[in-house]
């Protein structure tokens, strides 16, 4: 699935109180030309998609395909990316109009916008990687919602991300044997639960590296890592660089903007 998917970014926008109306207004009616993903950060407006009036709630991710009829009603503030895909792979997937509780994707939208505004030699690759991560998260959530056992496990992982989570504990809570639980999780999420747990922990570490000035030791502990060597090794596996380098890049970006 999506082996040939090759997104090309068209634009990356951030709607804030400085560049978007804070009173009830229409952004105007239009038809989407490309694929669009919009993550709501704050707001009490609405987005009309193919005559469906959908509230702009924080954490709600809007998913739009080419040809959709749209109208945005302020006020709402968001991260918003537009991209094309000549492969046609995305058309093979049945996408919802929106998904709830997707605020954990903020880090990817911010990274895309940073690279869009201040590109360097690795920006194109990083942008594509982030779009793929967002699409993968959409597919995973769709799959998990079809299986209440997996969905319950995912919520447990999110709520206990600061603890050294054990797959055996998750299996015990599900009522299944370890092998059966692992097989179910992998079938639904396309990766074993141990990998998913580590991915969530590193994603949270990225958020803390951006949002706080906490030491790496404190961030590691808040993400359930109590061995710094393992934390560094896992972070580099998922992000392709060390936490120190990741934070330095963020600081350089903040210095520019």
pTM: 0.77
Q: 73-120, pLDDT tens digit by residue?
A: 999 999 999 999 988 888 888 888 999 989 989 999 999 999 999 898
What is the rounded CA–CA span in Å between residue 175 and residue 32? 45
Within a domain: 2: no
Helix (H, G, I), strand (E, B) or coil at 175: coil
29 in any annotated domain? yes
CATH classification of the domain holding 170: 1.10.10.60
Tokens coding 89: 């792979």
| Domain-located, residue 66 | yes
- From first to last of its 257 residues, the chain has per-residue pLDDT tens of 577 888 999 999 999 999 999 999 999 999 999 999 999 999 899 999 988 999 999 999 999 999 999 999 999 999 999 999 988 888 888 888 999 989 989 999 999 999 999 898 989 999 999 999 999 999 888 888 888 899 899 999 999 999 989 999 999 999 999 999 999 999 888 889 999 999 999 989 998 998 889 999 999 999 999 999 999 999 999 888 899 988 887 777 655 44
Q: Choose one of 91, 119, 143: the last residue of a domain.
A: 143
Same domain, yes or no: 136 and 220: no
State the number of CA atoms in the 13 A half-sphere of 130 facing the CB: 26
For tokens 């958020």, the residue is 207
Residues 28 and 129 in one domain: yes
Structural domain count of the chain = 2
Cβ count within 10 A of residue 211: 11
1 within a domain of the structure (yes/no): no
Sheet containing 26-31: order of strands = 26-31, 69-73, 46-49, 52-55
DSSP 66: T
Q: Does 129 lie in the same domain as 151?
A: no
Confidence at residue 1, expressed as pLDDT on a 0 to 100 scale: 59
Domain that holds residue 217: 146-256
Structural domain ending residue among the three candidates 90, 122, 143: 143
CB 203 within 8 A of CB 165: no
CA angle 15, 18, 19 (to 5 degrees): 50
DSSP 41: E
User: Residue 193: what pLDDT?
Assistant: 95
């Amino acid at each position: 699935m999506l082996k040939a998917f090759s997104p090309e970014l068209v634009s990356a926008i951030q709607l804030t109180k400085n560049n978007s109306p804070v009173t009830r207004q229409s952004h105007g009616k239009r038809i989407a030309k490309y694929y669009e993903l919009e993550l709501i950060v704050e707001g009490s407006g609405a987005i009309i998609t193919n005559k469906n009036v959908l509230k702009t709630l924080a954490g709600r991710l809007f998913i739009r395909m080419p040809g959709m009829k749209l109208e945005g009603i302020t006020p709402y503030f968001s991260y918003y990316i537009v991209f094309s895909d000549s492969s046609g792979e995305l058309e093979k997937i049945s996408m919802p109009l929106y998904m709830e509780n997707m605020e954990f994707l903020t880090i990817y939208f911010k990274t895309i916008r940073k690279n869009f505004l201040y590109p360097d030699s690795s920006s194109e690759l990083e942008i594509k990687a982030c779009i793929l991560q967002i699409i993968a998260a959409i597919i995973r959530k769709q799959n998990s919602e079809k299986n209440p056992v997996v969905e319950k496990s995912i919520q447990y992982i999110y709520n206990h991300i600061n603890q050294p989570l054990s797959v055996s504990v998750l299996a015990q809570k599900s009522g299944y044997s370890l092998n059966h639980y692992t097989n179910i999780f992998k079938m639904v999420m396309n990766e074993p639960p141990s990998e998913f747990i580590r991915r969530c922990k590193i994603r949270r570490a990225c958020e803390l590296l951006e949002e706080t000035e906490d030491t790496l030791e404190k961030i590691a502990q808040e993400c359930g890592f109590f061995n710094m060597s393992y934390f560094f090794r896992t972070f580099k596996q998922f992000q392709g660089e060390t936490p120190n380098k990741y934070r330095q890049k963020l600081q350089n970006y903040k210095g520019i903007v």
